[in-house]
Amino acid sequence: MGVYSDLYASKLRTADEAVKAVQSKQWVWYSHFAMGPRALDEALARRAGELTGVNVKGVCLMYEPELVKVDPEQKSFLYHSGHMSGHERHLGDQELAYYIPGNYGQCPGNTRSGNMYPPQIAMIMTTPMNEHGYFNFGTSCSYAKTICDMADVVILEVNPNAPWCLGGEQECIHISEVDYIVEHESPMAVIPSEFTVTEAEKKIAALLIEELEDEACLQFGIGALPSMIGKMIADTDLKNLGIHSEMMADCFIDLAEAGIVNGKMKSIDQRKITYTFALGSQRLYDYIDNNPRCATYPVDITNDPDIIARNDKVISINNAVEIDLYSQINSESSGFRNISGTGGQLDFTIGAMKSKGGKPFICLSSTKKQGDKTVSRIVPYFRPGSIITVPRTYAPYIVTEYGIANMMGKSTYRRAELLIDIAHPDFRDDLIKAAKEQRIWTRTNKIG
């Protein structure tokens, strides 16, 4: 630790000592995704009954917060998420977690402007300090530095298993900006690198591969579909691909190591894989650790549509829950049930639209199981409670296993026609009937 050893020692606390900084009615903000502060969460939970009205905010935590488990009546703590993980969705189903809507790329600006609830106490997991006095935000640059800058008290949970992720900017914090340090070793949260792929997803992936060309700049996130696309790209002769994404995923590693992804034709961050958070296997965390091929940035840089568009041929690939005949896209709820969040889907859809030669895609299988029934995911209109993630004014290319439909610049009736064409054949007649009943068509167009 060199010259900073005494300063470090003066700020070192146990988790229970550090969380004494929290007072009733304050807002406590956690770090995001795989960097959720487990020891500090558990220590704060031990103050249940002592504190009242403490609001806690996380983003896509990979564990169920302990403070929710110990306080189901929510007398001490109220938990909020900026993007629901599976754990947080489960809590939401029990009315124990609440969603704060927002485009991911706008969150740092909203925090700095005071539009979001103020982060009075920051609890952030980091790497250990280096010889220069810096801690690294690891796999979740996100908007960790903004949280620390705005907070009255900054508490770091230092985890030696967190990878040091090179940036960019705002990927580190100096010890002079920190109030308390808690040392706690825990394994990094991992998710599978291999996913079960349906036949519909295989067909969608094959359609998307046909849309790729040399020198494209890719963005896609978690799940079976991007994993499948990554494998299929590896079997092509595509060259000089780049990556500018909010998420760094396992599927990018093989492409980079094979030289298919080299980033040399990117307009910005040349030869870099650009991302704001990483979530995947231990192999992924080992890969990004001190790897100069990768550059992590805060999300208001990675997800800024104007910055995204500075690269040519941006290919943005994201998933949806359902789409209606007006081409409105719901990617975050099932009726009144909150499934995930807006995330960066609209950010990258707009960015790819603005990119020279860019193409944004929203993908969904044509049907899904709902109980014992098979239902269409292209619907006449949304059920009450359904959330519009991408409005029809920004609806891009829509992809099912039956084809690709370009919504951009089309009339309302033409959008409905194109969507019906890529719906499952078993539901097309009902969708045509619904389009007529909803007066989407006129006597002069072709529906029916």
Spatial distance between the Cα atoms of 35 and 224, rounded to a whole number of angstroms: 23
246 is catalytic: yes
Question: In whole numbers, what is the pLDDT of the chain averaged over residues?
Answer: 95
Mean pLDDT, residues 254-268: 95
Tokens of 379: 């619907």
* Matching residue, tokens 């080992």: 286
pLDDT at 444: 59
Indicate the pLDDT class of residue 446, thresholds 50, 70 and 90: low
Pairing of strands 172-174, 134-136: antiparallel
Compute the C-alpha angle 231/222/138, nearest 5°: 110
pLDDT at 385: 94
CA nearest to 77, candidates 149, 141, 28: 28
In this structure, are residues 172 and 136 in contact, taking their beta carbons and an 8 Å threshold? Answer: yes
Spatial distance between the Cα atoms of 262 and 147, rounded to a whole number of angstroms: 33
Pairing of strands 367-370, 373-376: antiparallel
The sign one gets for the Cα dihedral 241, 247, 252, 257 is positive
Among 66, 201, 246, 332, the one annotated catalytic: 246
Tokens of 186: 């825990």
pLDDT at 443: 54
Indicate the pLDDT class of residue 227, thresholds 50, 70 and 90: confident
pLDDT at 337: 93
pLDDT at 193: 76
Give the domains, in start order, of the chain with CATH numbers.
2-183 (3.40.1080.10), 190-298 (3.30.750.70), 303-448 (3.40.1080.20)
Tokens of 219: 């963005």
pLDDT at 224: 83
Which one is predicted more confidently, 221 or 8?
8
Length in residues, the chain: 448
pLDDT at 334: 93
Query: Tens of pLDDT along 166-215?
Result: 998 999 999 999 999 999 999 999 998 778 889 999 999 999 999 999 99
Spatial distance between the Cα atoms of 97 and 104, rounded to a whole number of angstroms: 19
pLDDT at 109: 95
pLDDT above 60 for 448: no
Q: What is the rounded end-to-end Cα distance, in angstroms, of the chain?
A: 74
Query: Tens of pLDDT along 106-161?
Result: 999 999 998 888 999 999 999 999 999 999 999 999 999 999 999 999 999 999 99
Indicate the pLDDT class of residue 250, thresholds 50, 70 and 90: very high
pLDDT above 70 for 390: yes
pLDDT above 90 for 226: no
Q: What is the pTM of this model?
A: 0.96
* Matching residue, tokens 């394994």: 187
Indicate the pLDDT class of residue 357, thresholds 50, 70 and 90: very high
pLDDT above 60 for 447: no
pLDDT at 222: 77
Share of the chain above pLDDT 90, in %: 91
Spatial distance between the Cα atoms of 287 and 243, rounded to a whole number of angstroms: 15
Tokens of 64: 């169920």
